[in-house]
Amino acid sequence: MPPIYGAVAAGDPQTVEAGIHVLKQGGNAVDALVAAAYAALVAEPFLINIGGGGLATLYLPDKNRALTYDFMVDVPSRPPYPTMDFRRILVQFEAAIQHFHIGRASAGVPGLVAGLCRLHSDWGRLPLQQVMAPAIALAEQGATISQSQVHILNTLRDIFSADPQLRDLYFPHGQPITAGTRIARPDVAHTLKRIASEGPDVFYRGDLAQAIVRDQERRGGLITANDLAHYEVYILPALETTYRGWRVFLPPPPSRGGGLVALALALLSDHPISEWTFLGPRHAALHAAVQAYVQNIRPQWETVIERSPHPGEAWLAPANLTAHRKAFAQRWQERLAFSFPIEERATKPNTTHISVLDAEGLIVSMTMSAGEDAGFVVEDTGIQLNNMLGEDDLNPQGFHRWPPGTRLGTMMTPTIVRHDSGDVLVVGSGGSSRIRSAVVQVISAYLDFALPLDEAVRAPRIHYDEEGVVQLEGGIPEGTASALQHAGYRVNLWPVKSIYFGGAHAVARRSSITWEAAGDPRRGGAGAIV
Protein backbone atom coordinates (compact mmCIF):
# COMPACT_ATOMS: atom_id res chain seq x y z
CA MET A 1 0.00 0.00 0.00
CA PRO A 2 1.43 3.45 -0.94
CA PRO A 3 2.02 5.87 1.93
CA ILE A 4 -0.78 8.24 2.92
CA TYR A 5 0.15 11.90 3.25
CA GLY A 6 -3.13 13.16 4.65
CA ALA A 7 -6.79 14.00 4.12
CA VAL A 8 -8.62 17.22 3.27
CA ALA A 9 -12.33 18.10 3.31
CA ALA A 10 -13.75 21.47 2.31
CA GLY A 11 -16.56 23.30 0.55
CA ASP A 12 -15.54 22.71 -3.08
CA PRO A 13 -13.48 20.11 -5.00
CA GLN A 14 -11.12 22.86 -6.20
CA THR A 15 -10.51 23.95 -2.61
CA VAL A 16 -9.73 20.36 -1.65
CA GLU A 17 -7.43 19.90 -4.65
CA ALA A 18 -5.29 22.86 -3.58
CA GLY A 19 -4.73 21.26 -0.17
CA ILE A 20 -4.06 17.83 -1.67
CA HIS A 21 -1.57 19.32 -4.14
CA VAL A 22 0.46 20.81 -1.30
CA LEU A 23 0.38 17.56 0.72
CA LYS A 24 1.78 15.73 -2.31
CA GLN A 25 4.63 18.24 -2.43
CA GLY A 26 5.64 17.40 1.12
CA GLY A 27 3.61 19.99 2.95
CA ASN A 28 2.02 19.31 6.32
CA ALA A 29 -1.56 19.82 7.48
CA VAL A 30 -1.10 23.55 8.06
CA ASP A 31 0.42 24.05 4.61
CA ALA A 32 -2.54 22.20 3.12
CA LEU A 33 -5.03 24.21 5.13
CA VAL A 34 -3.53 27.55 4.06
CA ALA A 35 -3.41 26.43 0.43
CA ALA A 36 -7.04 25.33 0.55
CA ALA A 37 -8.18 28.48 2.35
CA TYR A 38 -6.67 30.81 -0.26
CA ALA A 39 -8.12 28.64 -3.03
CA ALA A 40 -11.55 28.92 -1.42
CA LEU A 41 -11.44 32.69 -2.02
CA VAL A 42 -11.68 31.88 -5.74
CA ALA A 43 -13.61 28.58 -5.75
CA GLU A 44 -16.18 29.60 -3.11
CA PRO A 45 -16.50 33.37 -3.76
CA PHE A 46 -20.01 33.67 -2.34
CA LEU A 47 -19.07 32.03 0.96
CA ILE A 48 -15.78 33.73 1.79
CA ASN A 49 -13.59 36.63 0.69
CA ILE A 50 -10.12 37.86 1.56
CA GLY A 51 -11.56 40.51 3.88
CA GLY A 52 -13.20 38.06 6.28
CA GLY A 53 -12.13 36.38 9.50
CA GLY A 54 -12.10 33.00 11.14
CA LEU A 55 -11.07 30.55 13.83
CA ALA A 56 -8.75 27.55 13.62
CA THR A 57 -8.30 24.74 16.14
CA LEU A 58 -4.88 23.09 15.87
CA TYR A 59 -3.73 19.84 17.53
CA LEU A 60 0.02 19.45 18.02
CA PRO A 61 0.91 15.75 18.34
CA ASP A 62 4.37 16.32 19.82
CA LYS A 63 2.90 18.49 22.56
CA ASN A 64 -0.38 16.55 22.98
CA ARG A 65 -2.36 19.76 23.22
CA ALA A 66 -4.53 22.00 21.10
CA LEU A 67 -4.52 25.72 20.35
CA THR A 68 -7.08 28.04 18.83
CA TYR A 69 -6.00 30.78 16.44
CA ASP A 70 -8.53 33.61 16.63
CA PHE A 71 -8.49 35.93 13.61
CA MET A 72 -12.06 37.16 13.72
CA VAL A 73 -13.06 40.65 12.64
CA ASP A 74 -12.42 43.69 14.86
CA VAL A 75 -14.58 46.79 15.25
CA PRO A 76 -12.84 49.75 13.53
CA SER A 77 -11.93 52.93 15.35
CA ARG A 78 -13.53 55.62 13.21
CA PRO A 79 -16.90 56.56 14.75
CA PRO A 80 -20.06 56.42 12.62
CA TYR A 81 -21.07 59.58 10.77
CA PRO A 82 -24.14 60.71 8.78
CA THR A 83 -22.70 60.21 5.29
CA MET A 84 -21.11 56.80 5.86
CA ASP A 85 -21.90 54.06 3.34
CA PHE A 86 -24.31 51.78 5.22
CA ARG A 87 -27.29 50.44 3.29
CA ARG A 88 -30.05 48.02 4.19
CA ILE A 89 -31.02 45.16 1.90
CA LEU A 90 -33.53 42.32 2.17
CA VAL A 91 -32.47 38.76 1.44
CA GLN A 92 -34.87 35.88 0.78
CA PHE A 93 -33.54 32.69 2.34
CA GLU A 94 -35.22 29.31 2.14
CA ALA A 95 -36.74 29.68 5.59
CA ALA A 96 -37.32 33.41 5.92
CA ILE A 97 -36.70 36.94 4.72
CA GLN A 98 -33.83 38.59 6.59
CA HIS A 99 -32.37 42.07 6.34
CA PHE A 100 -28.68 42.96 6.37
CA HIS A 101 -26.63 46.07 5.86
CA ILE A 102 -23.85 46.36 3.30
CA GLY A 103 -21.46 49.10 2.18
CA ARG A 104 -18.09 50.40 3.35
CA ALA A 105 -19.31 51.08 6.89
CA SER A 106 -20.53 47.49 7.28
CA ALA A 107 -16.95 46.20 7.10
CA GLY A 108 -14.97 45.30 10.20
CA VAL A 109 -11.18 45.08 10.32
CA PRO A 110 -10.35 41.85 8.42
CA GLY A 111 -8.32 39.09 10.08
CA LEU A 112 -8.19 36.28 7.54
CA VAL A 113 -4.88 37.14 5.88
CA ALA A 114 -3.21 37.71 9.25
CA GLY A 115 -4.56 34.41 10.59
CA LEU A 116 -3.55 32.28 7.61
CA CYS A 117 -0.08 33.81 7.43
CA ARG A 118 0.44 33.42 11.18
CA LEU A 119 -0.61 29.77 11.08
CA HIS A 120 1.80 29.20 8.23
CA SER A 121 4.72 31.03 9.81
CA ASP A 122 4.22 29.19 13.11
CA TRP A 123 3.65 25.65 11.83
CA GLY A 124 3.98 25.42 8.05
CA ARG A 125 6.81 23.55 6.38
CA LEU A 126 6.88 24.77 2.77
CA PRO A 127 7.56 28.35 1.59
CA LEU A 128 4.45 30.54 1.51
CA GLN A 129 4.82 31.14 -2.24
CA GLN A 130 4.69 27.40 -2.86
CA VAL A 131 1.70 27.00 -0.56
CA MET A 132 -0.25 29.80 -2.25
CA ALA A 133 0.65 28.77 -5.80
CA PRO A 134 -2.51 26.64 -6.37
CA ALA A 135 -4.79 29.52 -5.36
CA ILE A 136 -2.90 31.96 -7.59
CA ALA A 137 -3.15 29.55 -10.53
CA LEU A 138 -6.87 29.09 -9.89
CA ALA A 139 -7.43 32.86 -9.87
CA GLU A 140 -5.41 33.32 -13.07
CA GLN A 141 -6.87 30.40 -15.03
CA GLY A 142 -10.38 30.56 -13.60
CA ALA A 143 -12.38 28.55 -11.09
CA THR A 144 -15.41 26.54 -12.14
CA ILE A 145 -18.45 27.79 -10.24
CA SER A 146 -20.54 24.96 -8.76
CA GLN A 147 -24.31 24.66 -8.59
CA SER A 148 -24.09 25.16 -4.82
CA GLN A 149 -22.26 28.46 -5.33
CA VAL A 150 -24.78 29.58 -7.96
CA HIS A 151 -27.59 28.90 -5.51
CA ILE A 152 -25.94 31.17 -2.94
CA LEU A 153 -25.28 33.83 -5.60
CA ASN A 154 -28.95 33.89 -6.51
CA THR A 155 -29.89 34.20 -2.85
CA LEU A 156 -27.49 37.13 -2.39
CA ARG A 157 -28.16 38.73 -5.77
CA ASP A 158 -28.71 42.22 -4.34
CA ILE A 159 -25.29 42.13 -2.66
CA PHE A 160 -23.23 40.81 -5.56
CA SER A 161 -24.90 43.13 -8.04
CA ALA A 162 -24.41 46.26 -5.90
CA ASP A 163 -20.92 46.99 -7.27
CA PRO A 164 -20.42 47.46 -11.05
CA GLN A 165 -17.31 45.27 -11.09
CA LEU A 166 -19.04 42.41 -9.27
CA ARG A 167 -22.19 42.86 -11.35
CA ASP A 168 -20.26 42.61 -14.61
CA LEU A 169 -18.43 39.54 -13.33
CA TYR A 170 -21.35 37.55 -11.95
CA PHE A 171 -24.36 38.99 -13.81
CA PRO A 172 -23.21 39.43 -17.40
CA HIS A 173 -26.04 40.82 -19.58
CA GLY A 174 -28.13 41.14 -16.45
CA GLN A 175 -28.41 37.40 -15.80
CA PRO A 176 -26.57 35.39 -13.14
CA ILE A 177 -23.83 33.02 -14.21
CA THR A 178 -24.76 29.35 -14.40
CA ALA A 179 -23.15 26.28 -12.88
CA GLY A 180 -20.02 25.31 -14.76
CA THR A 181 -19.07 28.87 -15.63
CA ARG A 182 -15.33 29.47 -15.33
CA ILE A 183 -14.45 32.76 -13.61
CA ALA A 184 -10.91 34.14 -13.64
CA ARG A 185 -9.88 36.84 -11.16
CA PRO A 186 -6.57 38.37 -12.33
CA ASP A 187 -6.97 41.17 -9.80
CA VAL A 188 -7.24 38.63 -6.98
CA ALA A 189 -4.30 36.68 -8.42
CA HIS A 190 -2.14 39.80 -8.32
CA THR A 191 -3.08 40.48 -4.69
CA LEU A 192 -2.37 36.86 -3.70
CA LYS A 193 1.02 37.06 -5.41
CA ARG A 194 1.84 40.14 -3.36
CA ILE A 195 0.90 38.40 -0.11
CA ALA A 196 2.82 35.25 -1.09
CA SER A 197 6.02 37.19 -1.82
CA GLU A 198 5.80 39.98 0.78
CA GLY A 199 3.79 38.39 3.59
CA PRO A 200 0.87 39.88 5.52
CA ASP A 201 2.54 43.29 5.99
CA VAL A 202 1.60 44.30 2.45
CA PHE A 203 -2.07 43.76 3.36
CA TYR A 204 -1.95 45.44 6.78
CA ARG A 205 0.75 48.11 6.40
CA GLY A 206 1.80 48.25 2.74
CA ASP A 207 0.17 49.56 -0.40
CA LEU A 208 -2.73 47.07 -0.25
CA ALA A 209 -3.55 48.49 3.18
CA GLN A 210 -3.27 51.99 1.72
CA ALA A 211 -5.73 51.06 -1.02
CA ILE A 212 -8.22 49.74 1.54
CA VAL A 213 -7.90 52.86 3.69
CA ARG A 214 -8.12 55.21 0.71
CA ASP A 215 -11.33 53.48 -0.42
CA GLN A 216 -12.74 53.66 3.12
CA GLU A 217 -11.93 57.36 3.50
CA ARG A 218 -13.30 58.41 0.12
CA ARG A 219 -16.41 56.25 0.06
CA GLY A 220 -17.83 56.24 3.55
CA GLY A 221 -16.06 53.53 5.53
CA LEU A 222 -14.78 53.27 9.10
CA ILE A 223 -11.51 51.30 8.87
CA THR A 224 -8.35 53.32 9.48
CA ALA A 225 -4.69 52.71 8.72
CA ASN A 226 -4.09 52.28 12.45
CA ASP A 227 -6.81 49.61 12.65
CA LEU A 228 -5.09 47.53 9.99
CA ALA A 229 -1.55 48.12 11.25
CA HIS A 230 -2.41 46.99 14.78
CA TYR A 231 -4.60 43.99 13.97
CA GLU A 232 -3.52 41.03 16.12
CA VAL A 233 -4.05 37.28 15.86
CA TYR A 234 -4.87 35.79 19.27
CA ILE A 235 -3.45 32.37 20.12
CA LEU A 236 -5.41 30.71 22.91
CA PRO A 237 -5.57 27.31 24.61
CA ALA A 238 -8.44 25.35 23.11
CA LEU A 239 -11.34 24.33 25.33
CA GLU A 240 -11.12 20.65 26.19
CA THR A 241 -13.88 18.28 27.22
CA THR A 242 -14.53 14.56 26.74
CA TYR A 243 -17.18 12.45 25.03
CA ARG A 244 -17.33 8.65 25.26
CA GLY A 245 -13.67 8.56 26.26
CA TRP A 246 -12.54 10.80 23.39
CA ARG A 247 -10.92 14.19 23.96
CA VAL A 248 -12.80 17.02 22.30
CA PHE A 249 -10.99 20.26 21.48
CA LEU A 250 -13.15 23.31 20.85
CA PRO A 251 -12.54 27.03 20.32
CA PRO A 252 -12.89 29.37 23.31
CA PRO A 253 -14.52 32.81 23.07
CA PRO A 254 -15.04 34.73 20.81
CA SER A 255 -16.62 31.45 19.64
CA ARG A 256 -19.93 31.01 21.40
CA GLY A 257 -20.27 27.61 19.79
CA GLY A 258 -17.38 25.90 21.58
CA GLY A 259 -18.87 26.14 25.05
CA LEU A 260 -22.37 25.26 23.82
CA VAL A 261 -21.17 22.18 21.92
CA ALA A 262 -19.31 21.06 25.05
CA LEU A 263 -22.52 21.36 27.08
CA ALA A 264 -24.55 19.49 24.46
CA LEU A 265 -22.06 16.61 24.45
CA ALA A 266 -22.16 16.48 28.26
CA LEU A 267 -25.95 16.14 28.17
CA LEU A 268 -25.88 13.46 25.46
CA SER A 269 -23.22 11.46 27.30
CA ASP A 270 -25.68 10.46 30.04
CA HIS A 271 -27.77 8.40 27.58
CA PRO A 272 -27.10 4.99 25.93
CA ILE A 273 -27.65 6.41 22.45
CA SER A 274 -25.90 3.55 20.67
CA GLU A 275 -28.63 1.18 21.89
CA TRP A 276 -31.37 3.22 20.23
CA THR A 277 -32.62 3.33 16.65
CA PHE A 278 -30.71 5.95 14.70
CA LEU A 279 -33.05 8.90 14.06
CA GLY A 280 -35.89 7.00 15.68
CA PRO A 281 -38.35 8.80 17.98
CA ARG A 282 -36.28 8.53 21.16
CA HIS A 283 -33.02 9.51 19.44
CA ALA A 284 -34.62 12.50 17.68
CA ALA A 285 -36.42 13.61 20.83
CA LEU A 286 -33.16 13.60 22.79
CA HIS A 287 -31.37 15.75 20.20
CA ALA A 288 -34.29 18.17 20.09
CA ALA A 289 -34.41 18.40 23.88
CA VAL A 290 -30.64 18.90 24.19
CA GLN A 291 -30.63 21.61 21.54
CA ALA A 292 -33.54 23.40 23.15
CA TYR A 293 -31.89 23.30 26.57
CA VAL A 294 -28.53 24.47 25.26
CA GLN A 295 -29.98 27.28 23.18
CA ASN A 296 -32.00 28.59 26.06
CA ILE A 297 -29.07 28.38 28.46
CA ARG A 298 -26.95 30.48 26.11
CA PRO A 299 -27.53 33.73 28.09
CA GLN A 300 -25.73 32.10 31.04
CA TRP A 301 -22.75 31.34 28.78
CA GLU A 302 -22.75 34.94 27.54
CA THR A 303 -22.68 36.14 31.15
CA VAL A 304 -19.75 33.85 31.95
CA ILE A 305 -17.90 35.19 28.88
CA GLU A 306 -18.57 38.76 29.96
CA ARG A 307 -17.67 38.40 33.64
CA SER A 308 -15.09 35.65 34.00
CA PRO A 309 -11.39 36.16 33.22
CA HIS A 310 -11.27 32.48 32.21
CA PRO A 311 -14.74 31.75 30.83
CA GLY A 312 -13.92 28.36 29.34
CA GLU A 313 -12.58 26.98 32.60
CA ALA A 314 -15.57 28.35 34.52
CA TRP A 315 -18.09 26.95 32.04
CA LEU A 316 -16.51 23.50 31.85
CA ALA A 317 -15.93 23.21 35.60
CA PRO A 318 -17.32 19.87 36.84
CA ALA A 319 -19.74 21.58 39.23
CA ASN A 320 -21.26 23.68 36.44
CA LEU A 321 -21.62 20.78 34.03
CA THR A 322 -23.07 18.56 36.77
CA ALA A 323 -25.69 21.19 37.60
CA HIS A 324 -26.78 21.40 33.97
CA ARG A 325 -26.85 17.64 33.57
CA LYS A 326 -29.11 17.31 36.61
CA ALA A 327 -31.43 20.07 35.40
CA PHE A 328 -31.69 18.52 31.96
CA ALA A 329 -32.14 15.00 33.32
CA GLN A 330 -35.11 16.09 35.39
CA ARG A 331 -36.88 17.57 32.38
CA TRP A 332 -36.03 14.57 30.22
CA GLN A 333 -37.36 12.10 32.79
CA GLU A 334 -40.57 14.11 32.99
CA ARG A 335 -40.75 13.95 29.16
CA LEU A 336 -41.35 17.67 28.92
CA ALA A 337 -41.28 19.18 25.45
CA PHE A 338 -38.84 22.08 25.34
CA SER A 339 -40.92 24.11 22.90
CA PHE A 340 -40.27 27.78 23.52
CA PRO A 341 -38.77 30.45 21.23
CA ILE A 342 -35.19 31.58 21.59
CA GLU A 343 -33.26 34.74 20.80
CA GLU A 344 -31.50 33.70 17.59
CA ARG A 345 -32.23 34.99 14.12
CA ALA A 346 -29.42 34.03 11.77
CA THR A 347 -30.26 31.88 8.73
CA LYS A 348 -27.43 32.93 6.45
CA PRO A 349 -25.32 30.39 4.56
CA ASN A 350 -22.13 32.44 4.33
CA THR A 351 -19.50 30.47 6.20
CA THR A 352 -17.20 27.71 5.00
CA HIS A 353 -15.04 25.11 6.71
CA ILE A 354 -11.83 23.15 6.01
CA SER A 355 -10.62 20.03 7.88
CA VAL A 356 -7.10 18.62 7.40
CA LEU A 357 -5.18 15.72 8.95
CA ASP A 358 -1.67 14.62 7.95
CA ALA A 359 0.27 11.39 8.39
CA GLU A 360 2.39 12.85 11.19
CA GLY A 361 -0.69 13.53 13.32
CA LEU A 362 -0.84 17.32 12.85
CA ILE A 363 -4.51 18.30 12.76
CA VAL A 364 -6.22 21.56 11.89
CA SER A 365 -9.89 22.50 11.74
CA MET A 366 -10.76 25.97 10.46
CA THR A 367 -13.99 27.86 9.87
CA MET A 368 -14.00 31.22 8.12
CA SER A 369 -16.60 33.80 7.16
CA ALA A 370 -17.06 37.21 5.60
CA GLY A 371 -20.68 37.59 6.62
CA GLU A 372 -22.53 37.98 3.33
CA ASP A 373 -19.94 40.33 1.68
CA ALA A 374 -20.05 44.13 1.94
CA GLY A 375 -20.87 44.46 -1.76
CA PHE A 376 -17.87 46.30 -3.19
CA VAL A 377 -14.34 45.81 -4.54
CA VAL A 378 -11.36 47.92 -3.45
CA GLU A 379 -9.96 49.68 -6.53
CA ASP A 380 -8.05 47.24 -8.78
CA THR A 381 -6.97 44.89 -5.99
CA GLY A 382 -9.84 42.39 -6.12
CA ILE A 383 -10.15 42.86 -2.35
CA GLN A 384 -13.67 42.44 -0.99
CA LEU A 385 -14.52 42.94 2.66
CA ASN A 386 -16.91 41.47 5.20
CA ASN A 387 -20.20 43.06 6.25
CA MET A 388 -20.15 41.82 9.85
CA LEU A 389 -20.94 45.27 11.23
CA GLY A 390 -24.19 45.04 9.29
CA GLU A 391 -25.49 41.76 10.74
CA ASP A 392 -28.22 41.94 13.39
CA ASP A 393 -27.08 38.80 15.20
CA LEU A 394 -23.53 40.14 15.64
CA ASN A 395 -24.74 43.55 16.79
CA PRO A 396 -27.56 42.84 19.27
CA GLN A 397 -27.29 46.27 20.93
CA GLY A 398 -27.66 48.05 17.60
CA PHE A 399 -25.31 48.87 14.77
CA HIS A 400 -22.00 50.61 15.46
CA ARG A 401 -22.42 50.32 19.24
CA TRP A 402 -19.42 48.09 19.98
CA PRO A 403 -16.33 49.88 21.35
CA PRO A 404 -13.44 50.23 18.87
CA GLY A 405 -11.15 47.22 18.87
CA THR A 406 -13.84 44.78 20.04
CA ARG A 407 -13.33 41.31 18.61
CA LEU A 408 -16.72 40.21 17.29
CA GLY A 409 -18.24 37.00 18.61
CA THR A 410 -19.16 34.09 16.38
CA MET A 411 -20.89 30.71 16.41
CA MET A 412 -18.06 29.14 14.37
CA THR A 413 -16.86 25.95 16.07
CA PRO A 414 -13.90 24.24 14.37
CA THR A 415 -13.59 20.98 16.32
CA ILE A 416 -11.06 18.20 16.80
CA VAL A 417 -12.03 14.90 18.46
CA ARG A 418 -9.14 12.59 19.33
CA HIS A 419 -8.75 9.28 21.13
CA ASP A 420 -5.57 8.34 22.97
CA SER A 421 -5.25 5.43 20.53
CA GLY A 422 -4.62 7.98 17.78
CA ASP A 423 -8.05 7.78 16.17
CA VAL A 424 -9.24 11.22 15.06
CA LEU A 425 -12.34 13.04 13.85
CA VAL A 426 -12.00 16.61 12.53
CA VAL A 427 -15.18 18.54 11.82
CA GLY A 428 -16.71 21.98 11.56
CA SER A 429 -19.58 23.56 9.70
CA GLY A 430 -21.07 26.68 8.25
CA GLY A 431 -24.64 27.63 9.06
CA SER A 432 -24.74 30.16 11.91
CA SER A 433 -27.01 28.75 14.63
CA ARG A 434 -27.02 25.36 12.87
CA ILE A 435 -23.25 25.05 13.19
CA ARG A 436 -23.36 23.53 16.64
CA SER A 437 -26.26 21.18 15.90
CA ALA A 438 -24.46 19.93 12.77
CA VAL A 439 -21.16 19.43 14.63
CA VAL A 440 -22.77 17.60 17.56
CA GLN A 441 -24.79 15.31 15.31
CA VAL A 442 -21.80 14.34 13.16
CA ILE A 443 -19.75 13.58 16.29
CA SER A 444 -22.55 11.49 17.76
CA ALA A 445 -23.28 9.61 14.53
CA TYR A 446 -19.58 8.79 14.09
CA LEU A 447 -18.86 7.79 17.70
CA ASP A 448 -22.18 6.48 19.05
CA PHE A 449 -23.31 4.59 15.94
CA ALA A 450 -19.89 3.99 14.32
CA LEU A 451 -21.24 5.20 10.98
CA PRO A 452 -18.72 5.62 8.17
CA LEU A 453 -17.76 9.28 8.02
CA ASP A 454 -19.55 9.94 4.74
CA GLU A 455 -22.77 8.51 6.18
CA ALA A 456 -22.36 10.52 9.39
CA VAL A 457 -22.01 13.72 7.36
CA ARG A 458 -24.86 12.94 4.97
CA ALA A 459 -27.30 11.69 7.62
CA PRO A 460 -30.48 13.78 7.98
CA ARG A 461 -30.27 16.40 10.73
CA ILE A 462 -32.43 17.87 13.43
CA HIS A 463 -32.42 21.52 14.41
CA TYR A 464 -34.42 23.27 17.11
CA ASP A 465 -34.92 26.72 15.60
CA GLU A 466 -35.40 30.26 16.87
CA GLU A 467 -39.19 29.91 16.86
CA GLY A 468 -39.19 26.80 19.02
CA VAL A 469 -39.88 24.50 16.06
CA VAL A 470 -38.05 21.21 15.57
CA GLN A 471 -36.83 21.24 11.97
CA LEU A 472 -36.46 17.68 10.65
CA GLU A 473 -34.45 17.33 7.46
CA GLY A 474 -35.63 15.23 4.56
CA GLY A 475 -34.94 11.54 5.12
CA ILE A 476 -36.05 11.43 8.76
CA PRO A 477 -38.93 8.93 9.10
CA GLU A 478 -42.46 10.34 9.24
CA GLY A 479 -43.02 8.17 12.29
CA THR A 480 -40.32 10.11 14.11
CA ALA A 481 -42.01 13.40 13.22
CA SER A 482 -45.37 12.10 14.45
CA ALA A 483 -43.86 10.87 17.72
CA LEU A 484 -42.28 14.28 18.39
CA GLN A 485 -45.58 16.01 17.68
CA HIS A 486 -47.32 13.65 20.07
CA ALA A 487 -44.71 14.53 22.70
CA GLY A 488 -45.66 18.18 22.41
CA TYR A 489 -43.11 19.57 19.98
CA ARG A 490 -43.95 21.78 17.06
CA VAL A 491 -42.41 19.96 14.10
CA ASN A 492 -41.61 20.81 10.49
CA LEU A 493 -40.63 17.82 8.33
CA TRP A 494 -38.67 18.94 5.28
CA PRO A 495 -39.16 17.00 2.01
CA VAL A 496 -35.47 17.33 1.04
CA LYS A 497 -32.02 17.91 2.45
CA SER A 498 -30.99 21.55 2.54
CA ILE A 499 -28.16 24.04 2.92
CA TYR A 500 -30.16 25.29 5.91
CA PHE A 501 -28.83 22.40 8.03
CA GLY A 502 -25.18 23.42 7.66
CA GLY A 503 -22.18 22.14 5.76
CA ALA A 504 -20.06 19.80 7.89
CA HIS A 505 -16.82 18.99 6.05
CA ALA A 506 -14.89 16.34 7.98
CA VAL A 507 -11.87 14.03 7.92
CA ALA A 508 -11.12 11.07 10.17
CA ARG A 509 -8.70 8.23 10.83
CA ARG A 510 -9.48 4.95 12.58
CA SER A 511 -6.81 2.55 13.85
CA SER A 512 -4.13 4.45 11.85
CA ILE A 513 -5.20 2.44 8.79
CA THR A 514 -8.64 3.62 7.71
CA TRP A 515 -8.64 7.24 6.50
CA GLU A 516 -11.87 9.04 5.59
CA ALA A 517 -12.73 12.42 4.10
CA ALA A 518 -16.25 13.68 3.54
CA GLY A 519 -17.47 16.98 2.14
CA ASP A 520 -21.06 17.90 2.95
CA PRO A 521 -23.16 17.79 -0.26
CA ARG A 522 -25.55 20.33 1.25
CA ARG A 523 -22.92 22.99 0.50
CA GLY A 524 -21.09 21.48 -2.46
CA GLY A 525 -18.42 19.93 -0.25
CA ALA A 526 -15.74 17.44 -1.21
CA GLY A 527 -13.09 15.34 0.48
CA ALA A 528 -9.97 13.51 -0.63
CA ILE A 529 -7.14 11.36 0.74
CA VAL A 530 -3.67 11.28 -0.74
pLDDT value at position 526?
Answer: 97
Distance CA 373, CA 388 (A): 8
- Taking CA 297 as the corner, what is the angle to CA 294 and CA 300, rounded to the nearest 5 degrees? 135
pLDDT value at position 344?
Answer: 45
Distance CA 343, CA 467 (A): 9
Domain identity same for 310 and 426: yes
Catalytic residue annotation:
351
> What domain range is 342 assigned to?
236-347+413-521
DSSP string, 188-234: HHHHHHHHHHH-THHHHTSHHHHHHHHHHHHHT----HHHHHT---E
Percent of the chain with pLDDT over 90: 85
Domain identity same for 381 and 453: no
**150: in domain:** yes
Domain identity same for 462 and 366: no
Question: What b/e string do you get for 230-266 counting C-beta neighbours within 10 Å, with b at 16 or more?
Answer: ebebbebebbebebbebbbbbbbbbbbbbbbbbbbbb
- Give the relative orientation of helices 207-219 and 186-198 as an angle to the nearest 10 degrees: 130
Domain identity same for 312 and 459: yes
Report the range of poorest mean pLDDT among 248-252, 279-283, 350-354, 434-438.
350-354
Among 211, 498, 511, 137, CA closest to 377:
211
Q: Domain count of the chain?
A: 2
Domain identity same for 444 and 316: yes
Domain identity same for 282 and 204: no
* Confidence label for 334 from pLDDT (cuts 50, 70 and 90): confident
The type of residue at 521 is P
pLDDT digits (tens, 9 = 90+) for 152-177: 999 889 899 989 999 999 999 899 99
**365: in domain:** yes
**1: in domain:** no
Domain identity same for 178 and 193: yes
Domain identity same for 56 and 185: yes
Mean pLDDT computed over 181-205: 98
Mean pLDDT computed over 17-45: 98
**8: in domain:** no
pLDDT value at position 396?
Answer: 82
Integer distance in angstroms from the first to the last C-alpha of the chain? 12
Residue 341: how many CB atoms within 10 A of its CB? 12
pLDDT value at position 393?
Answer: 77
**403: in domain:** no
Distance CA 453, CA 105 (A): 42
Query: Does the structure show a pLDDT above 80 at 335?
Result: no
pLDDT digits (tens, 9 = 90+) for 477-504: 989 999 999 888 899 999 999 888 999 9
Distance CA 164, CA 376 (A): 8
**455: in domain:** yes
Query: Does the structure show a pLDDT above 50 at 362?
Result: yes
Residue 441: which CATH number?
Answer: 3.60.20
**353: in domain:** no
Report the range of poorest mean pLDDT among 70-84, 89-103, 286-300, 406-420.
89-103
Domain identity same for 229 and 256: no
